[in-house]
Structures are given as structure tokens and as C-alpha cells.
């Protein structure tokens, strides 16, 4: 009987590989491209959770596309053991919830960056690291956006906010002010906040300067699009009258990793408040 069943299986046309071959190829190409995009930030010295998570997902997807038979064997093995089935169900449920949450939070991030900026507000420029004592590319983009806003809004003043990192020769705020001065922004329109080490502290310490000097409590945040929602949330929590974006774009090869990292940071903010 077993021989006859095996013979019948061999005689039947193997339609499944033909049916799904194109889909496997397309998915394999997608995961391969995802892996390449995920690893691009390494060329700029960027290593964070936003690199690790997409890269791990891409590797798992490639394994499923290339080693279909082995994956089927693993799933069969799991299916025969109740404990493993339950663990797999829980894992898939967590992944599904995270994907839905990621899409929802991404919508909030896009909305935060797309909001209209109020006029003649106080500009808060968030620090983003120094390279050889000068603003990094992302920080320079934020400063350029702030300079454009100040030019278009002559009643505005600017707070450059950033402390000194362990590998930085001086506080970021000092280098940020020097950069704006080179761009032609008058010194009397720039305030320095050089003690902060996080986005939360950027906003809180800048608030002290605004209150001490009686500056406008309507603020715009100069930062990248992925960062706007969280920065504006901190500003509203700090009690500012209105918080809007002064947005600059993230370099494309860094967008995915910073977007994923920011999702993790927003979840941290929602759970712990900072």
C-alpha cells in the first residue's frame, strides 16, 4: 500500500513549485533589497536597532524563500509539538501587533512632519552629533532649515540645543551657533543650550531659556521628518502654546534605520513618558 501511494505521488504533476516559483522569486528579490538597504547605514558608521531589526527580518525572509523545503520541515516539526506551537503562535501574534503598531505610528510621524509651521515662532534646533568638531550632515541639515525659517520670519529667535558627547571636543550648541553665524544669522538671534543629552532634555532645557528671556511660547522644532512627532509631543507636554515643524529631509540611505529606531523611541516615550 505504501509503495502504491508513493508511486501515485511520483506520477502526479508537481504543480506547486510552478505555481509559487514566481512569487518566491519576487519575495526573494524584495528581501534581498531590504537586506541591502538595511546595511547601507553601516557605510556611514551608523549602528543601531534600526539597522539590526530590518536586516534580521530580511535574512529570515531570504531563508524562507531560498530554503523552502527546510522551512517546511521546521514548521512540521513545530506543528507536532504543542509547546512549540503555542510559542510560535505567541511570537506571530507579537509580530503582527508590532507591524500594525508600526504602521499606525508611521502615520503619526508623517502627520507631525506635514503640519503647517506657525510664523515668527521660537526655533529650537535639536542636536545631532559632531564630526571633527563640526556639525554632522544631519545636524547641518537641521541648521540650514532653521536659517531658512529665521530669514523668512524676522521676529523669530533661535535656540541651538545640544550638550557635549564623550567623543566631542566641545558642546554641540557651540558648533551649531558657529555654523549659523557663518550662514549670516545675527548673533543676537541665537541662544545656546549646551547641557542636554536627549530630545526630552532639549525641549525641557530650551523651555527654561524661553521663560527666562520671555521669548515666544509658540515654537517650531528644527529636525528631520522622522523626529518631528516625538519632538512636538515633548514640546506640547512642556506646555508650549503651539509646536510645529521646521523640517529637513533625512538622507535616503539612512531613512529606514532612523525610522525604525524612532518607532522604538516613540514606544519608549509612550510607556515611560520620556
Q: Three-state SS for 214?
A: coil
CA distances from 204 to 44, 84, 221 (A): 30, 47, 13
Burial class of 18 by CB neighbour count within 10 A (0 to 12, 13 to 18, 19+) = exposed
Spell out the alpha helix ranges (H) of the chain.
Answer: 2-11, 15-39, 49-66, 68-79, 82-114, 137-152, 172-182, 199-212, 228-237, 252-272
- Residue 247, pLDDT score: 95
pTM of the model: 0.87
122-126 and 218-224 strand pairing: parallel
Q: Look-up: residue for cell 508537481?
A: 14
Number of Cβ within 10 Å of residue 261's Cβ equals 19
User: Whose CA is closest to 183, among 137, 136, 150, 224?
Assistant: 150
Cβ within 8 Å of residue 255, ≥6 positions away: 226
Tell me how far apart the alpha carbons of residues 223 and 125 are, in angstroms, rounded to a whole number: 7
Tell me how far apart the alpha carbons of residues 156 and 158 are, in angstroms, rounded to a whole number: 7
CA 59 to chain centre: 20
pLDDT in tens, 205-222: 999 999 999 999 999 999
Cβ within 8 Å of residue 190, ≥6 positions away: 157, 158, 159, 160, 177, 180, 181
Number of Cβ within 10 Å of residue 220's Cβ equals 31
Contact 231, 198 (CB under 8 A): no
pLDDT in 10s for each residue of the chain, 274 residues: 555 555 555 455 555 566 678 888 899 999 999 999 999 999 988 999 999 999 999 999 999 988 888 888 888 888 888 888 999 999 999 999 999 999 999 999 999 999 999 999 999 999 998 999 999 999 999 999 999 999 999 999 999 999 998 888 999 999 999 999 999 999 999 999 999 999 999 999 999 999 999 999 999 999 999 999 999 999 999 999 899 999 999 999 999 999 999 999 999 999 998 8
Amino acid at each position: 500500500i505504501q509503495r502504491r501511494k508513493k508511486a501515485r505521488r511520483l506520477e502526479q504533476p508537481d504543480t506547486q513549485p510552478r505555481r509559487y516559483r514566481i512569487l518566491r522569486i519576487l519575495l526573494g528579490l524584495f528581501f534581498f533589497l531590504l537586506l541591502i538597504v538595511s546595511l547601507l547605514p553601516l557605510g556611514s558608521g551608523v549602528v543601531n536597532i534600526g539597522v539590526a531589526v530590518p536586516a534580521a527580518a530580511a535574512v529570515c525572509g531570504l531563508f524562507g524563500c531560498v530554503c523552502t523545503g527546510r522551512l517546511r520541515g521546521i514548521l512540521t516539526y513545530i506543528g507536532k509539538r504543542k509547546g512549540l506551537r503555542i510559542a510560535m503562535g505567541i511570537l506571530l501574534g507579537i509580530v503582527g501587533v508590532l507591524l500594525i503598531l508600526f504602521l499606525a505610528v508611521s502615520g503619526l510621524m508623517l502627520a507631525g512632519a506635514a503640519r503647517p509651521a506657525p510664523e515668527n515662532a521660537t526655533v529650537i534646533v535639536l542636536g545631532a552629533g559632531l564630526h571633527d568638531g563640526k556639525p554632522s550632515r544631519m545636524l547641518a541639515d537641521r541648521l540650514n532649515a532653521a536659517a531658512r525659517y529665521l530669514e523668512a520670519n524676522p521676529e523669530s529667535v533661535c535656540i541651538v540645543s545640544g550638550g557635549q558627547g564623550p567623543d566631542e571636543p566641545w558642546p554641540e550648541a557651540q558648533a551649531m551657533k558657529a555654523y549659523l553665524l557663518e550662514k549670516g544669522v545675527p548673533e543676537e538671534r541665537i541662544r545656546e543650550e549646551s547641557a542636554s543629552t536627549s530630545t526630552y532634555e532639549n525641549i525641557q532645557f530650551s523651555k527654561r531659556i524661553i521663560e527666562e528671556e520671555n521669548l515666544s511660547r509658540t515654537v517650531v522644532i528644527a529636525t528631520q521628518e522622522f523626529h518631528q512627532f516625538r519632538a512636538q509631543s515633548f514640546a506640547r507636554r512642556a506646555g508650549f502654546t503651539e509646536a510645529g515643524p521646521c523640517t529637513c529631509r533625512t538622507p535616503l540611505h539612512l531613512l529606514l534605520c532612523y525610522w525604525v529606531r524612532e518607532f522604538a523611541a516613540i514606544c519608549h516615550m509612550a510607556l515611560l513618558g520620556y
